[in-house]
């Protein structure tokens, strides 16, 4: 009798210990992991890299847009491939919202996806493809390599009005910090990831207010006083008022090379966006900009990989949540 009671108590204890070892979230929640596809699609990462390399060889200017796609995916509904979905009857998707009209590279993602579907159908998510391609284009632009945790699943929803969650180029430092914090990202992530502007281009329309109409008066002197005046004069020769077509290299002369050029520019008040200049308005971000303007690349490279991993974790769907799309632009 006593031994029966003891064994009942023991099994209750063991059961409660087992319960306390379960993760506190839903039973389906899982972390992303390295080598997630090692059994289900062992060549997934090699296939992604090979396709990315082919594209960048013929169209190096796509590196910037492909890095930016992952950022715009993660900041709206998490890194769930929602940025890739097409609008449907009755729903305007993220990609057709104003902040995303300058995104490019969707065709590259479709191409990589098609290759993967041939080798391992229905296995590799579009959200993971975005994360892997972002890493690979940085590597192909002579930037750092970082291991990309995978296992993201694709979402079902994409809504234009949710792109309000993206930081605007007019943002001041307070807004930037709070937008990043709302995604679980730190002030350091903000200044490090802004370094992504070392590659790529910007349309004049993304900073023309600083050149011609900073306070809404639109007088010849209505300029952003924080922008270096020589640089402002140069930008004015390229960008005319209301110019929506012309674009400039964000890191002139080295806009295809991933390096610390961005910090050198921002340190001289030559970042093109108000949000770049804003990094000089907070002690932490300012210190990072100034110390990396002259420093070797190694610390920035390490930081960039770490912060990309942080960004790649934002709001991910894992386990049985979401799906693995067959085509990235439409839900299955
Ligand atoms: C901190 C807040 C940010 C703001 C306000 C911002 C804003 C912008 C804007 C306005 C453009 C130019 C779009 C155009 O006119 O064509 C741009 C381009 C770009 N952004 Fe950002 N961005 C931010 C953060 C990031 C982050 C975190 C990344 C990646 C880690 C990133 C990567 C890029 C790249 C690579 C381009 C060049 C795209 C191309 O060549 O077409 N940005 N960004």
- The three-state (H, E, C) secondary structure of the chain, written as one string: CHHHHHHHHHHHHHHHHHHHHCCCCCCCCCCCECCCCCCCCCCHHHHHHHHHHHHHHHCHHHHHHHHHHHHHHHCCCCCCCHHHCCCECCECCHHHCHHHCCCCCHHHHHHHHHHHHHHCCCCCCHHHHHHHHHHHHHHHCCCCCCCCCECCEECCCCCHHHHHHCCCCCCCHHHHHHHHHHCCCCHHHHHHHHHHHHCCEEEHHHCHHHHHCCCCCCCCCCCCCCCCHHHHHHHHHHCCCCCCCCEEECCCCCCCCCCCHHHHHHHCCCCCCHHHHHHHHCHHHHHHHHHHHHCCHHHHHHHHHHHHHHHHCCCCECCCCCECCCECCECC
Backbone φ, ψ for residue 39 (5° rounding) = -95, -40
Backbone φ, ψ for residue 249 (5° rounding) = -75, 135
**Span from the CA of 195 to the centroid of ligand 1 (angstroms):** 10
Q: Which two tokens stand for residue 305?
A: 């990989």
pLDDT in tens, 109-158: 999 999 999 999 999 999 999 999 999 999 999 999 999 999 999 999 99
What is the residue whose two structure tokens read 């769907």?
Answer: 317
pLDDT in tens, 19-50: 334 444 344 567 999 999 999 999 999 999 99
**Ligand 1 atom index nearest CA of 103:** 41
**Span from the CA of 159 to the centroid of ligand 1 (angstroms):** 20
**Span from the CA of 180 to the centroid of ligand 1 (angstroms):** 14
Residue 29 is predicted with a pLDDT of 61
Q: Which domains does the chain have, with CATH numbers?
A: 44-165 (1.10.520.10), 173-311 (1.10.420.10)
CB distance 119 to ligand 1 below 6 Å: no
CB distance 75 to ligand 1 below 6 Å: no
- Residues (pLDDT < 50) of the chain are 1-3, 5-27
Quote the CA–CA distance of 162 and 183 in Å, as a whole number.
14
Pick the catalytic residue: 70, 72, 274, 292? 72
Backbone φ, ψ for residue 330 (5° rounding) = -140, 150
Q: Which two tokens stand for residue 226?
A: 């924080």
Check the annotation: does 186 bind a ligand.
Answer: no
Residue 296 is predicted with a pLDDT of 83
């Amino acid at each position: 009798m006593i031994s029966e009671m003891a064994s009942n108590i023991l099994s209750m204890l063991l059961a409660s210990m087992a319960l306390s070892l379960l993760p506190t979230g839903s039973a389906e929640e899982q972390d992303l992991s390295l080598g997630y596809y090692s059994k289900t699609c062992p060549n997934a990462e090699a296939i992604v890299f090979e396709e990315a390399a082919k594209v960048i060889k013929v169209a190096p200017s796509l590196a910037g847009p492909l890095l930016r796609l992952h950022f715009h995916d993660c900041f709206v509904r998490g890194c769930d491939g929602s940025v890739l979905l097409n609008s449907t009857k009755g729903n305007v998707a993220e990609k057709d919202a104003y902040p995303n009209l300058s995104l490019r590279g969707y065709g590259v993602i479709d191409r990589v996806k098609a290759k993967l579907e041939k080798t391992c159908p229905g296995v590799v998510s579009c959200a993971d493809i975005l994360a892997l391609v972002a890493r690979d284009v940085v590597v192909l632009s002579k930037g750092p390599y970082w291991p990309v945790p995978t296992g993201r699943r694709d979402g079902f929803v994409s809504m234009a009005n949710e792109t309000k969650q993206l930081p605007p180029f007019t943002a001041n430092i307070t807004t930037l910090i709070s937008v990043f914090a709302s995604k679980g990202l730190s002030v350091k992530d903000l200044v490090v990831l802004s370094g992504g502007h070392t590659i790529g281009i910007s349309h004049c329309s993304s900073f023309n207010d600083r050149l011609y109409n900073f306070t809404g008066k639109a007088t010849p002197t209505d300029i952003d006083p924080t922008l270096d005046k020589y640089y402002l004069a140069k930008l004015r020769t390229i960008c005319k008022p209301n110019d929506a077509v012309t674009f400039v290299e964000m890191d002139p002369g080295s806009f295809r090379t991933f390096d610390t050029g961005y910090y050198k520019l921002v340190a001289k008040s030559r970042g093109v966006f108000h949000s770049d200049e804003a990094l000089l308005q907070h002690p932490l971000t300012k210190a990072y900009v100034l110390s990396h303007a002259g420093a070797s690349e190694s610390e920035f490279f390490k930081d960039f990989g770490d912060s990309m991993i942080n960004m790649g974790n934002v709001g991910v769907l894992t386990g049985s949540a979401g799906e693995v799309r067959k085509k990235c632009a439409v839900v299955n």
